[in-house]
């Protein structure tokens, strides 16, 4: 399993909890977030400029909106954000009856629906759920009994949805109905070996393989969801690797976010690039990132 990939630091951001990279092919920028610093970032690869928008609560995910701006999954539910005025407009708060819960990770499907999941602040087992924000701004609960809702992605033909609840150390698959957004036939397709870091953010490539960031695992891995086989492991010079997604002109660059939260001074001295934003030339095209259509 030879590693033939070059890992490049493109922004020494020293993020406390960098997460959720999302490439906007039309605007040629990468949005990403720092959950606990309550920041939404827009990184422009050509100029290496990074714009930061501070919101007033923890942000679990930010996705572009077709009509402009972003849709955010914040601690207090779903919001629209105008990036000119930086103003937030609430849409829905499906867990206002669970004040200790917060959103963590999310992504849009090919029809423009926004999927995002929750977790309890102390990671209480089964306290979270996965939700789908439809184009008409109604919210559906799709998966219950979730502990740390994390990576979500779809197969290139949009017939399968993959999902990670981190403590399970598994990637599960569902049959996905692109027209209705319904999911069924849940099954485990990948088992992550213990002590390799916990599975966090995830994306997929046009060959149908899954790319997974490993929290505490110093790596990004590539898996075959048909066989469950590990295809490759790419070392990242940061202990906490949080998420990954494809972007770039040819959609063959993997953008990787990392974090510094909870790391000792000793570890930070050894891994000074922790919290940075990285890029990997993969040689394979990734599935596109979709914008929210509502």
DSSP string covering 62-112: EEEBTTSSEEEEETTEEEEE-TTT--EEEEE-TTTT-TTEEEEEEEE-TTS
Q: Name the DSSP letter for residue 268.
A: H
Q: Please check whether residue 23 is in contact with residue 245, taking contact to mean a CB–CB distance below 8 angstroms.
A: yes
Whole-number Å distance between alpha carbons of 30 and 170: 28
134 is catalytic: no
Distance CA 213, CA 184 (A): 25
Contact yes or no for 117/146 (Cβ under 8 A): yes
104 in a known ligand binding site: yes
Q: For the purposes of burial, counting CB atoms within 10 Å of the CB of 178, is it exposed (0-12), middle (13-18) or buried (19 or more)? A: middle
Is 150 flagged in the annotation as binding?
yes
* Secondary structure of residue 114 in the 3-state scheme: strand
Is 200 annotated in a binding site? The answer is yes
Residue tagged active-site, from 134, 200, 224, 252: 200
Residue 19 assigned as binding residue: yes
Whole-angstrom distance, CA of residue 120 vs CA of residue 172: 21
CA-CA distance, 121 to 100, in Å (whole number)? 6
> Residues comprising the binding site?
19, 104, 150, 200
What is the set of active-site residues? 200
> Residues comprising the binding site for substrate?
104
């Amino acid at each position: 399993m030879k590693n033939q990939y070059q890992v490049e630091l493109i922004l020494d951001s020293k993020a406390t909890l960098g997460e959720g990279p999302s490439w906007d092919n039309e605007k040629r920028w990468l949005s990403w977030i720092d959950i606990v610093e309550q920041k939404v970032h827009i990184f422009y690869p050509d100029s290496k400029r990074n714009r930061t928008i501070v919101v007033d609560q923890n942000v679990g995910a930010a996705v572009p909106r077709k009509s402009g701006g972003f849709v955010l999954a914040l601690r207090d539910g779903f919001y629209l954000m105008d990036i000119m005025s930086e103003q937030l407009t609430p849409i829905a708060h499906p867990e206002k009856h669970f004040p200790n819960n917060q959103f963590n990770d999310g992504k849009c499907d090919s029809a423009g629906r926004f999927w995002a999941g929750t977790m309890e602040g102390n990671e209480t087992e089964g306290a979270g759920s996965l939700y789908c924000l439809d184009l008409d701004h109604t919210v559906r609960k799709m998966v219950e009994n979730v502990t740390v809702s994390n990576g979500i992605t779809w197969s290139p033909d949009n017939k399968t949805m993959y999902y990670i609840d981190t403590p399970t150390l598994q990637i599960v698959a569902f049959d996905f109905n692109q027209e209705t957004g319904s999911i069924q036939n849940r099954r485990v397709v990948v088992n992550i070996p213990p002590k390799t870091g916990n599975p966090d953010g995830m994306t997929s490539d046009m060959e149908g393989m899954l790319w997974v960031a490993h929290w505490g695992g110093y790596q990004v891995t590539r898996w075959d969801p048909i066989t469950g086989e590990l295809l490759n492991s790419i070392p990242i010079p940061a202990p906490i690797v949080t998420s990954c997604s494809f972007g770039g002109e040819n959609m063959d660059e993997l953008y990787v976010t990392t974090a510094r939260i909870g790391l000792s001074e000793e570890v930070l001295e050894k891994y000074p690039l922790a919290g940075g934003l990285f890029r990997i030339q993969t040689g394979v095209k990734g599935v596109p990132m979709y914008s929210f259509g509502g």
